[in-house]
Copies of this chain bind each other. A is one copy, B any other.
Amino acid sequence: MPAKRDAYKRDTYTPDSLLTVAVRVFNERGYDGTSMEHLSKAAGISKSSIYHHVRGKEELLRRAISRALDGLFGILEEPRAREGRAVDRLEHVTRRTVEVLMTELPYVTLLLRVRGNTDTERWAMERRREFDQRVAELLKQATADGDLRADVDVRLATRLLFGMINSIVEWYRPGRAGRGATTSEEVAEAVVRTAFAGLRVT
């Protein structure tokens, strides 16, 4: 069908560049609401060209989620997340989680939004809970060390900390120039100050 083929550009995608397009569409339409047709249109190549790269949209989801998870779990392997007092390791993990969220924004956004209708989504939610659990254990240890206040429940404190961190995906848009442009280091520092030292001057 040469007439139809004209609608498509030559497939110069790599698995990575195709993933970039797919994640944008997943975040715009929701994973459930995205068909191979939508991906084909957004990429400007035929569905069969996409199938040349991946088995289907669930594989694209799995790759995207893996990228977010590799970034997040990688933090826990960093020396400053593994050595020293729990409270300092927790602050390091908090700071780096904000940085990874901001540098891998579309991938982490997707991870935070999946809802569990397929095996891949359920696996994503399971791994995300595992990460939250690792951070909760640091909070628990830091509280036991007497470094974190005991009058805020550990479970609740973990939720509020992640609430603050994860909300960044709602407003941060990279490359938005001008007044109020913010680097990931600035935001990470603000989160650490707010969550651990508090906004009030003491």
Interface residues of chain A, those whose CB is within 8 Å of chain B, are: 87, 139, 146-149, 151-153, 155-157, 159-168, 170-171, 180, 182, 186-187, 190-191, 193-202
Residue of B nearest to A166 (CB): B167
CB neighbours of A198 from chain B (8 A): 194-199
CB neighbours of A190 from chain B (8 A): 152-153, 156-157, 160
> A199 with B159: in contact, given A167-B167, A190-B152 (CB under 8 Å)?
no
CB neighbours of A152 from chain B (8 A): 190, 193-194, 199
CB neighbours of A151 from chain B (8 A): 193
Residue of B nearest to A147 (CB): B201
Given contacts A162-B167, A163-B167, A198-B198, 12 further A-B contacts (CB under 8 A): A152-B193, A153-B186, A155-B180, A156-B182, A160-B191, A163-B165, A163-B166, A164-B167, A194-B198, A196-B199, A197-B200, A198-B199
State whether B200 touches A87 (Cβ < 8 A). yes
State whether B159 touches A167 (Cβ < 8 A). yes
CB neighbours of A164 from chain B (8 A): 160, 163-164, 167
Contact of A200 among B165, B167, B196 (CB under 8 A): B196
Residue of B nearest to A148 (CB): B199
Most chain B CB neighbours (cut-off 10 Å) among A153, A166, A167: A167
State whether B180 touches A170 (Cβ < 8 A). no
> A187 with B156: in contact, given A147-B201, A149-B200 (CB under 8 Å)?
yes
